[in-house]
Amino acid sequence: MAAKARALSLMGAVSGASCRCPAHGGGLSSHASYQATRCAGDSPNTDYAFEMACSNIRFGEGVTQEVGYDFANMKAKRLAVVTDKNISKLPVMKTVLDSLTKQNLNFDVFDDVTIEPTDVSFNKAISWAKQGSFDSYLAVGGGSVMDTCKVANLYASDPDQSKELLDYVNPPIGKGTPVTHTLHPLIAIPTTAGTGSETTGVAVFDLHDLKAKTGIGSRAIRPLLGIVDPLNVMTMPNRVAAYSAFDVFCHALESYTALPYNKRSPRPANPINRPAYQGSNPISDVWSKQALRMCSSFMIDSINSPDNFEARKQMCAASAFAGIGFGNAGVHLCHGLSYGISGNVKAYHANGYPTEKPLIPHGLSVVITAPAVFKWTAPACPERHLEAAQILGRDTSNDKLADAGVILADIIKDYCNKLEIDDGLKTLGYTSSDIPALVEATIPQERVTKLAPREKTREDLASILENSLTMY
């Protein structure tokens, strides 16, 4: 009877609560960061819910050799294997092809992926996939490979073969058409510890006409399975490891400090229109903060001590953790600004990367503005910025919230200095005269920039870029 009385009392309390909307009637709204949350009916223009979507993840040393079983188990009849020319020469590819061959699978290999893919390279992969009549896909490589494979699958599996690349690209650059058809199964095997693309429904590319990156974001394009094998990241050159690690680092920081999901607008009239990047939320927070903890413990050793298997293994896991976090919460200004920085490259050639054309690797283009970005965003949510600083090794017991931006910016600079990151945009070939063009390339990146926790203007973006010309 006592238990029944308690249950009735609890039901009465719930039914009498003033807020009965589905997202805020329970424990999630009690989180300290969401105290200001209001009922759905109180703010009709902002969202009241968030969705969590993630690929299945298999993690372990040597799991790459299982991939043949996976496709055999799903009775794949014609498999598309997507990689790049560098990865095709590495041991991981031999392991993959041996596994597929042992299961008597019928497969073709596309190895013409471009590092930092473009609309041209995406269309080349799409054309190849359409001609192949594939019923399943496998991506083996870094973010460029995984994103290319996602897009090839998206367009080749579309019953409407008249769709153009920009049809599914996020507005205002593309039409942002919702994905309503069923894609073929895709398995992703990452070979870098950075992008987390094996967990996300996002694919990014350089649009030549825009001189900036843009992307497609839809839960429908995420891989069915990410096979995360720490053995595959041991071959990363030093600079590839560094820039990949800083991508993890910024994924976690940006998603944790992003605009809260219940302050994002517009609220979708149909849930199919709820974006993949929804704003910070209590579930993404868990993954993002854990990724930061792992960066704090293992990031520097994973780069400066390349034979430290445990450090590289942990950063491999951190990449997936951050991917789950930002894949649902989103990123904001570091990534939004990076798309113009990489798209307007002049003559910079990154060490450890192919030298046939100028290239600013993604992770470098992201972290180069990070100190200035987080110094600027801190007033919107100083508690989160200070907590991030604490996770990254700062004793914040005597620090003031008003100083959170400067504190976090200094910590980021320290990580960059220890890992020999270039001293700002000037070292990448930019001057103050380039800032207007970089701002113009950033303005269309609403997919990510709208998640900044502060309202920003063109002048704000220009100031952040000006303050990023030098870092140290």
Residue 429 to residues 323, 358, 360, Cα–Cα distance (Å) = 30, 11, 10
Domain assignment of residue 196, yes or no: yes
- Provide the CATH number for the domain around residue 136: 3.40.50.1970
Give the domain CATH number at 431: 1.20.1090.10
Residue type, 409: A
pTM for this entry? 0.88
Are 266 and 410 in the same domain? yes
Residue with tokens 């001189």: 211
Write out pLDDT tens, residues 370-428: 999 999 999 999 999 999 999 999 999 999 999 999 999 999 999 999 999 999 999 99
Are the C-beta atoms of residues 99 and 64 closer than 8 Å to each other? yes
Q: What's the half-sphere exposure (Cβ side, CA atoms, 13 Å) at 467?
A: 18
**Residue 21: inside a domain:** no
Q: Quote the number of domains for the chain.
A: 2
Q: Hunting for tokens 């910590």 — which residue is that?
A: 411
How confident is the model at residue 43, as a pLDDT?
66
223 & 261 share domain: no
What b/e string do you get for 99-123 counting C-beta neighbours within 10 Å, with b at 16 or more? bbeeeebebebbbebbbbbebebbb
- 127-136 confidence digits (pLDDT tens): 999 999 999 9
Task: Give the C-alpha separation, 341 to 364, whole Å.
Answer: 10
Which of 233, 260, 293 is the last residue before a domain boundary?
233
Is pLDDT of 32 > 80? no
What distance in Å separates the CA atoms of residue 237 and residue 235, rounded to the nearest whole number?
6
Q: Indicate the residue among 233, 262, 285 that finishes a domain.
A: 233
**Are 390 and 429 contained in the same domain?**
yes
Q: For 65-104, give the DSSP string.
A: GGHHHHHHHTT-SSEEEE--TTGGGSHHHHHHHHHHHHTT
Residues 226 and 362 in one domain: no
Q: Which of 233, 262, 297 is the last residue of a domain?
A: 233
Query: Residue 210 — pLDDT band, cuts 50, 70, 90?
Result: confident
Q: Are both 410 and 427 inside the same structural domain?
A: yes
In a domain, 395, yes or no: yes
Is residue 122 within 8 Å of 150, Cβ to Cβ? no
Q: CA-to-CA distance for 135 and 275, rounded, in angstroms?
A: 27
- The residue segments making up the domain with residue 97 are 56-233
Q: Is the pLDDT of residue 13 over 70?
A: no
Has residue 409 been placed in a domain? yes
Residues 6 or more apart in contact with residue 301 via CB below 8 angstroms: 308, 311
Strands (E), 318-409: none
182 lies in a domain? yes
Neighbour tally for 256: CB within 10 Å: 26
Task: Tell me if 415 is assigned to some domain.
Answer: yes
Tokens 């926790």 correspond to 453
Query: So what's the pLDDT on residue 356?
Result: 78
**Per the domain annotation, does 48 fall within a domain?**
no
CB atoms near residue 30 (< 10 Å):
11
DSSP annotation of 231 reads G
- Whether the Cβ atoms of residue 212 and residue 444 lie closer than 8 Å to each other: yes
Residues 92 and 219 in one domain: yes
pLDDT average, residue stretch 258-265: 97
pLDDT tens, 300-347? Answer: 999 999 999 999 999 999 999 999 999 999 999 999 999 999 999 999
Give the side-chain half-sphere CA count within 13 A for 117. Answer: 31
**Helix (H) / strand (E) containing 110:** strand 107-110
What pLDDT shows up at residue 398? 97
Rounded-to-integer distance, Cα 152 and Cα 23, Å? 35
Give dist(CA 117, CA 106) in Å, integer.
Answer: 27
CA–CA distance from 210 to each of 47, 148, 438, 440 (Å)?
30, 19, 11, 9
pLDDT band at 211 (very low <50, low <70, confident <90, very high): confident
The tens digit of pLDDT for each residue in 42-85 reads 467 999 999 999 999 999 999 999 999 999 999 999 999 999 99
Residues 222 and 336 placed together within one structural domain of the fold? no
How do residues 76-89 score in pLDDT, each as one tens digit?
Answer: 999 999 999 999 99
**Same-domain check for residues 217 and 283:** no
In the predicted structure, residue 10 carries a pLDDT above the cut 60: no
Residues 6+ apart with CB under 8 A from 298: 310, 311, 314, 315, 318
Within this chain, do residues 218 and 242 fall inside the same structural domain, yes or no? Answer: no
Average pLDDT over residues 110-121: 95
Task: Tell whether 196 and 265 lie within a shared domain.
Answer: no
Helices (H), ranges, 29-172: 67-73, 91-102, 119-132, 143-156
Burial letters 299-337, b for 16+ CB under 10 A, else e? bbebbeebebeebbbbbbbbbbbbbbbbbbbbbbbbbbb
Please tell me whether residues 271 and 202 are part of one structural domain.
no
Structural domain includes residue 6: no
Q: Quick one: 289 and 379 in the same domain?
A: yes
pLDDT of residue 26 exceeding 50, the answer is no
Report the sign of the C-alpha dihedral through residues 19, 25, 30, 32, in that order.
negative
